[in-house]
Structure 1
């Protein structure tokens, strides 16, 4: 059952001259402890003690004290609203669990009555404090957060008031624990509580006890005041440190907003962080989890400290760096001269000795779990520095901002790359329009003229009709090749090609490619073509059709830019254990050195789309690159310059024996 009547209200109605005062929760705690100390200080008396807690979590903090009080008296009563395991019991003292809806859940009571003294504390939490607690329920479980809650009530050593408060609380206890009636009656008779009081005691309502030892009260309150001053001083220091931290973080954040240059941001971060923490050296450098070395790019130095900036920092043999990579968290060393991780590593021991590092902190710069860089702090030539939690949190916060700056700079660089790609796509689009317009329109116009002539001139000589037909067939084949190249490149780039690797002889593939060239070039004088293929060359493993396609396009490309009196050579040699390198060289017009990379781009035309002396779409070399990359090879071009010929190289995997495969696996490991 729950009772809505307030004990404080009943007490004020019974003794009308009482005037409640305002108390803070911290003050009530100090007063309660002083009253409990008074009981613990007594030697012979067995007082009546009644304590009421609002919630079980407040009681749990004081439970051990009440076990000690129970050794002094058998008249100890503790009331609380249960939350987990608080129940009616009589193990050490009498526990009374009242309903959470009871008015007691908003009050704070402690009554102590002995033969020669009495004190009571009866308070009720103010409505404003209750409303604030309800608005921030997430703070209520923390006992350190509610010391400023406000209560109104009575604290007095007046015996009559204490007896009346005890009477009201004992009546409330009987409601919940009727089984304690005999024990409560004993307390009433012993201390003259309620109707059992004698006339002599009844006339002492306004009498104050004179023989109370006030030392426990004074000591408790003095201790509380000293603790309050210490907490206030600590709070001021915390606020000052927090303000400095916020200024530091704001300065770095401002630098990030003002500049997209990561070098400028990292240098400011190193200077600000090093000065703020008063370290001997602060290093910031970029590093990834797989890096073996890093270049120290940014550094803060105190006076007289040896610089490291610009030097190479070993990472592969650095146990501290490897621990950071493995854990994804910072590592701190209080004393580098005694830390096992340092002393057991020859390279770290040398670094510590050379750069006079006594205390060491390594904090990773992470973004979504990816390592971007490292922040290092060194305390040099000083007693060992004990790293504080606030320092570690600050360095972690700065590392987070640095990570954001690096990602921001990376995003900006990626945006520039994207802009360049868009420009390249725009050029590709322009070339596509120009080439398709030229390559399709020209043969289509020729075909149309030939067909119209054949249709409109039935008396045309047979010889001329044959010329018209041959011209139309030749240009239609030219259009077919253009469309076929478009489709082939599209399929290769989109991954829609199915590869069928097989064991092949390279000579056979070269012969097939040359037969294609001779078939298409009947009647034309070709440059001299020589092949140099070693008879001991191993079999290659590739898709035969696509390998022939690469050879045919490279030979056709050499044929286009080589005069008939020139020479084309095809060579193949063993390139390492796993590849054969094929070279198609010509003595033609050559390639400028600055264009050796872009000749493999789509629609690349050295002479421009509309001023070419040779036919073609500019897709042949792009198709070759896609095919070679498809079987895991490489393709590149070489040339000494204009009119000095060119060489195109590509690699093809060889067919390996079982023993060779085992050796390759061992080498790869």
Structure 2
């Protein structure tokens, strides 16, 4: 048998006490009148008990409910509709649990909104900074030409080329932002196909060979891969992932350093691709934010290396769009290793 609510127990006991007292009083009255009628006495007791129970239960519930609901509404811990969906209750333990639950939910919601607000402010500040630099550069060159430098053919050509580079950087940033937005909303479709990941890495090495040569950085595999390793993914997007990771390793790699790519079997139908360098490395406090948009470890020096500041964020979104994971391990002054999993064709 289900336990009675505490309010019912309260009303039952109170009604019983009132009924006993009223019955005793009536008994005394009838005894005094010398006309005791037991049937009348029992009927009076039953009716008195029922009436007292209904009145007390209704009054107590309405009394407590109104005050508790006012507290809820005043504190905005509960929406008014949430109370109307449930029967009115004066069970204080239940009300306390409800308040605690909603208070924790609201606290979590507020903390989440604060974090998002901080992220929004930082993101807007970063976008503003990234766009401001090339915009002001382009504007400066154009104003100089307007002020009369356009008459000098040598200066005109040089300044127009520099202004064009600024515009190209703006286009690069906008394209990367557009790609991230599409990846986040699932609007960028992946062209899944089977291809040799070893061949793809070799192609990326060839594309970046001259860039690496400027810092005398060696691009290499950890070992010879005589046989193809066939994976199932979007070839173009994975090429972009590898390009971004290797370009990053070149940017922040040490002079005469090495960027090494390894491909290992993870489980039966998975491989893990590792891109390892012996460059600057990343401090532990920055690792949790390294894939955020525009996040830069070195706020001043890294900008001279160019790029949109969106490369690693794009890498993360592309890998996650494949339902795979990307990992990072790094030690300041030692180097970094980025690794990601891919589906292997059995």
Q: Could you say which residue in structure 1 is the equivalent of 2:257?
A: 566
1:330-409 equivalent positions in 2, closer than 5 A: 399=94, 402-403=97-98, 405-409=100-104
1:617 to 285, 303, 308: 308
Q: Could you say which residue in structure 1 is the equivalent of 2:109?
A: 414
1:599 aligned onto 2:294: no
Contact 2:205 2:219 (8 Å CA) reproduced: no
Mind listing any 5+ residue stretches in structure 2 that lack a counterpart? 1-34, 84-88
1:230 aligned onto 2:49: no
- Distance change (3 Å), C-alpha of 1:527 and 1:410: same
Q: Please state how far the C-alpha of 1:251 moved relative to its aligned partner.
A: 9.1
Contact 1:639 1:645 (8 Å CA) reproduced: yes
Distance in 1 (CA, whole Å) between partners of 2:277 and 2:209 is 17
Distance in 2 (CA, whole Å) between partners of 1:242 and 1:537 is 80
2:233 to 542, 551, 556: 542
Q: Could you say which residue in structure 2 is the equivalent of 1:42?
A: none
More helix by share: 2
Does the residue aligned with 1:580 lie in a helix, a strand or coil? strand
1:87-236 equivalent positions in 2, closer than 5 A: 223=39, 226-236=42-52
Query: Alpha carbon RMSD of aligned pairs, Å?
Result: 4.0
Contact 1:439 1:617 (8 Å CA) reproduced: no
Contact 2:64 2:90 (8 Å CA) reproduced: no
Does the residue aligned with 1:612 lie in a helix, a strand or coil? helix
More strand by share: 1
Contact 1:513 1:549 (8 Å CA) reproduced: no
Distance in 1 (CA, whole Å) between partners of 2:212 and 2:259 is 18
- Greater C-alpha Rg: 1
1:438 to 133, 141, 144: 133
Q: Please state how far the C-alpha of 1:634 moved relative to its aligned partner.
A: 1.0
1:429 aligned onto 2:124: yes
Normalising by the residue count of structure 2, what TM-score does the alignment of the two structures yield?
0.71
- Distance change (3 Å), C-alpha of 1:465 and 1:413: closer
Q: Could you say which residue in structure 2 is the equivalent of 1:486?
A: 177
Normalising by the residue count of structure 1, what TM-score does the alignment of the two structures yield?
0.39
Q: Deviations for 1:594-649, whole angstroms, at most 9, x for unmatched residues? A: 11111111111222268734222211111111111100011122112x32211112
Q: Could you say which residue in structure 1 is the equivalent of 2:19?
A: none
Q: Deviations for 1:236-285, whole angstroms, at most 9, x for unmatched residues? A: 35555666767887897799789999xxxxxxxxxxxxxxxxxxxxxxxx
Contact 1:252 1:401 (8 Å CA) reproduced: no
Distance in 1 (CA, whole Å) between partners of 2:143 and 2:277 is 37
Contact 1:443 1:479 (8 Å CA) reproduced: no
2:217 to 527, 535, 538: 527
Does the residue aligned with 2:127 lie in a helix, a strand or coil? helix
Contact 1:443 1:475 (8 Å CA) reproduced: yes
